[in-house]
Amino acid sequence: MRPLGIIASTLAVAVLATSCGDADSTENSAGEGLTTGVTQDSIVIGTHQPLTGAASPGFVHISAGAKVVFDHINENGGIHGRQIDYRVEDDGYDPARTMEVTRDLVEEQEIFAMLGGLGTPTHEAVIDDLNAKGVPDLFVSSGALAWDSPEEYPYSYGFQADYSKEAKVQGAYIAQNFSGDDIGLLYQNDDVGPASHAGIEQYLVDDIVAWESYDPGVPELQGQVASLKESGADVAVCYCIPAFLGLAILQARAIDYEPQWVAPSFGGDVNIVAEMINEYAAGTPAEDVPAEAFTDGLIITISLPMVNQTDDPWIEFYRELHEQYGEGSPFVDTTVYGMVQATLLAQVLMEVGPDLDRETLLQTLHAQEWAGPGLVPFVATEDDHSGYSGVAVVQHHAGEELEILQEPRVTDSDGGEILPFELERPTPDQVALHDGDR
């Protein structure tokens, strides 16, 4: 899918360069002196999300989570007198559609910033244009390394721990705790694969016995899972979105293959994985087996608290907000993902003050360390746009509290050490998100 992303990105620049104004423009129909997407009483924030298509299971809840936080903010006075006008466009996880909806968000809807645009191949198709137009491209929902390229993409910023960092922590943990076991990799065939390999192979290259890729547009893993079993892999590391992790686990069980499954943060939403297993199992011999039986024991790396960590103050806060504004949608880990993105944006906007423009937003983002819901430090400086800097290792046990296997560690995307750290996480009542908190 990498060639498609490159072609789509090139086309996006060619099409949009002919129809959009100067990236330095700071006035629009909102009124003299007001930057694009900002009026006296609103801030327009846009995003592209897979509300339909292969990636929609699980990820559809990200924008729903962000909306919950924005609804809470708006009901409590907004941010410096302005309401958050959140525009969500469905791209179906198709780069061509991402180009279309992003063009509409930038040109027609005149967004102030993009928040959490989702997907590696999809966001690659529009990152050049967003940067050419000077649109803040905040907290991209993907762990690709491209978002942390401040010289090439000064307006783009990562969010989740990038694929290499996450895989490094996974690799070191597996090497220490599954010494002598054979390792199999199953990964999405875009930047997820190479970036993840660059991390995990630093610790496990001699132990990896299988490399199997999948196309997210083709919901079939029978051959890949059979190859993992044939390789003798004792540990199967699945760099997969939730739908494909669920499919892999189910197909493995169908051929009596039960490795220790390891999942990354972007695929390890256990509730969504279980939901997908139930859907895939319909009409098969596994139909009557509880989905929890398949996900029990799953090892996951995380940089954000998970919904079943009921004693976490941010989970308690988000659950309360979701009960009030969630409109019946499920409260799952991907919901929390979107809630954290909205929380970070609100923190920055509150700090900026009433005189809001794009450059001031980014200068404020660079000016301090941002602490909040995350379990690890969040990095957004002029020279480092990487986002969350590490992960913890946890294990899901059906019907029980999440088990912390390894406390959070931080690292870089290259060959640096994996290190423990001290982080003072503020509680929700210590973070100003709206005018009512001032």
Partners of 140 in beta bridges = 158
Confidence (pLDDT) at 33: 52
Percent of the chain with pLDDT over 90: 82
Position 142 pLDDT exceeds 90:
yes
Q: How many angstroms separate the CA atoms of 223 and 231, rounded?
A: 12
Every domain of the chain with CATH number 3.40.50.2300 lies at 2-160+310-375, 163-302
Confidence (pLDDT) at 1: 37
SS3 89: strand
Identify the band that residue 22 occupies on the pLDDT scale cut at 50, 70 and 90.
Answer: very low
Mean pLDDT of all residues in 34-62: 94
Q: How many angstroms separate the CA atoms of 278 and 290, rounded?
A: 8
Confidence (pLDDT) at 399: 84
Position 10 pLDDT exceeds 60:
no
Greatest alpha-carbon span in the chain: 67
Confidence (pLDDT) at 199: 94
Burial of 311 from C-beta contacts in 10 A (0-12 / 13-18 / 19+) = exposed
DSSP tag of 118: B
Q: What is the pLDDT of residues 257-298, one digit of tens each?
A: 999 999 999 999 999 999 999 999 998 888 889 988 999 999
| Alpha helix segments (H runs only) across 113-241 | 120-124, 127-132, 163-177, 192-204, 222-231
Q: How would CATH label the architecture of 163-302?
A: 3-Layer(aba) Sandwich (3.40)
Q: What is the pLDDT of residues 417-435, one digit of tens each?
A: 999 998 899 999 999 999 9
Q: What is the pLDDT of residues 385-417, one digit of tens each?
A: 999 999 999 999 988 889 999 999 999 999 999
- The b/e string for 272-291 (b: 16+ C-beta within 10 A; e otherwise) is bbbbbbbebbeeeebeeeeb
Query: Looking at the domain covering 2-160+310-375, what would its CATH class be?
Result: alpha beta
User: Residue 228: phi, psi to the nearest 5?
Assistant: -60, -45
Position 43 pLDDT exceeds 50:
yes
Q: What is the pLDDT of residues 160-189, one digit of tens each?
A: 999 999 999 999 999 999 999 999 999 999
Position 4 pLDDT exceeds 90:
no
